[in-house]
Amino acid sequence: MLIVLLPLLFGIVFAANLTQQLVSTASQFERLKQSQEVLLKLNNMIITIARSGLLFSSLLYTPQTESRLKAAQNIEKFFLHPGYLGDVKLDGFSEFKELFADAEAARTLFMKMIADSKRSTVIGTNVVYTNAYKPEAVMSVLTFNSLVDRIKAATVRLDNEEPAAIKNMFMQVVLLLIVGFAISCALSFLIAYIFTVDIVRRLATISGNALLVAADKELPPPLVGTDEIAELDRTLHKTDLQLKAFRKKERAILNNTADVVASLDRRLRFSLVGESASRLWGYSTDDLLGRSLLTILSEHSASRVAEEFESIAKSDAIEEVATIVKCCDGSLKDFLWTVNWSADGQEFVCVAHDITELRKIERLKQAFFSMVSHDLRTPLASVNINISNMTSGVCGPLPEGGARLLSSASSNMQRLTSLVNDLLDLDKLDSERLILDVECISLRDVCEASIEALESMASSAGVELVAPHSDAAVMADERRLVQVVTNLISNAIKFSPRDGKVRVEILRKGDQVEIAVSDQGPGISIESQAGLFEKYKQGPSPASSIVKGTGLGLAIVKSIMKAHDGEVGVESEMGKGSTFWIRMKEFVD
């Protein structure tokens, strides 16, 4: 505050000094002016006395008495009182007072001579200037000469001193202005320097505190003051406290999650990682920070992972990346990374889920399906052939009870073979190992092939199959599409009452075509519809159904339609039957 008031105090002092100097200068100018006026009056007086003296001298020798008397009276009247000099102020002018006193003495002497002249004229003397006036005349001349010399000297001195005095006054004012300007500039620079140094220092403190906040380090005490910078520093300290609380919660979440939560920069270096990495990988957070993800991956997967991360950064989508992590103890673990690229932060936000056990289960499943494919399906086929030969009489006639048992065994073997085939198909679809033979096909041909394959099943169940009348072309694998429609029709037969109908229709929906299979069964509740297309789930089978399902048929339908970029769905109400449909893009030549 004192620094701010300093220029104001200087301005007041400077204005007072300048005012005083200007007043003094004006006073000196006024004194010079008065001196000039006084000298002018004195000069006028000398001129008047000289002219009057000449006139008086000429009158003394004038024989006309009346004219001389009248002239003497006029001169006497002019010098009768001191007011002839005008209104002159002599305060402070001692030298001029002496000159005026001497001038007054000369006037008095001159008046005495005039008075004597008047008396002589009245008496009648012809020659007024006699020896009796000689002392007064001499004194008058001497006084007049001395007065003239002194006035001349005063005039010369004033003429010499006036320019110097004016110049001196001007120089004093100029000097005062220069000194004032210099001091003002010095004060301004000093205050600016003090403020600049202080502001720069405080701003440097703010900048340093901001860096400490970013680095999650302790801040020094807040700046003291009530100005904006101090307020900003206090706000920064409040923000630091809030960030510390947030980071504490964040660390608690990161360190207690089952998965590894991390962020990577564009070069795949760890910028943030939770404590879960130490538990799952054996690396501490300090070991991982600044380290590239590629250095902890198996050698054969590092280049692939780098390419996938680069692709994610360009697509700006959330993707999954499978990796094999080389742990600190040398063991390998499978992790599935959910990766999201943050364009604002220029970093990958990742969650790594341990799928090592899942991969083991998948390998066991693969081993199981391999066993089913080679060690189970081949014996089943052999048993089926033997049963078929026995029932056909190749081995001779069978007793009635034996034929019935073989027929039941054949039915069970077919069901078991169908289950094995469904499992193998589903495995191929899940592992995306199914190869489609895509070509332009007729949906009507697909529906008729499926109906023909299920005619005997429908006849045994007492259900009528109604084929579609329309047709449409699609790009698909015909054998797999027949498998889909066959599954849908077989389910419809299974849920249809005796003497019921199963209707197959081909419908167009915009640029898509739909195959709808409708039955007259009991319908499916909303709750049951949700899981119909999941593995090993199926709707409740009626007690009258002669065909028992495995819960894989609709899951296979969904997987095959997904491979064709198609859709599958169901529409049903309790007591009004069900309609299962599949949709795919219609082929237009």
pLDDT in tens, 270-293: 998 888 888 899 999 889 999 999
- 459 and 518 in contact (C-beta within 8 Å)? no
Beta bridge partner(s), residue 477: 438
- Helix orientation angle between 94-123 and 2-60, rounded to the nearest 10 degrees: 20
Please report the pLDDT score of residue 343 as a whole number.
85
User: 51-93: per-residue pLDDT in tens?
Assistant: 666 666 665 555 556 666 666 666 666 555 554 455 556 665 6
Query: Is pLDDT of 301 > 90?
Result: no
For residue 333, what pLDDT band results from cuts at 50, 70 and 90?
very high
Q: pLDDT digits over 389-410, tens only?
A: 777 766 667 677 777 777 777 7
C-alpha to C-alpha distance for 487 and 580, rounded to whole angstroms: 10
Q: What is the mean pLDDT of the chain?
A: 78
Q: What pLDDT score was predicted for residue 34?
A: 72
Can you read off the two tokens belonging to residue 302?
């590092």
**434 φ, ψ (degrees, to nearest 5):** -75, 125
Instruction: Give the pLDDT band (50/70/90) at residue 128.
Output: very low
Tokens of 423: 């499992």
Predicted pLDDT of residue 533 = 78
Question: 55 or 569: which carries more pLDDT confidence?
Answer: 569
**Nearest CA-CA partner of 354 in 224, 232, 259:** 259
Count CB neighbours of 203 within 10 A.
Answer: 13
Contacts 24+ apart (CB under 8 A), 19-22: 21/172, 21/173, 21/176, 22/173
Q: What pLDDT score does 83 carry?
A: 47
Least confident range of 238-242, 531-535, 547-551, 553-557? 547-551
CA dihedral (42, 46, 52, 55) in degrees, to 10, reads -160
Q: Which two tokens stand for residue 469?
A: 């009348």
Share of the chain above pLDDT 90, in %: 19
Q: Among 22-26, 335-339, 515-519, which stretch is predicted with the lowest mean pLDDT?
A: 22-26
Interval 457-468 mean pLDDT: 90
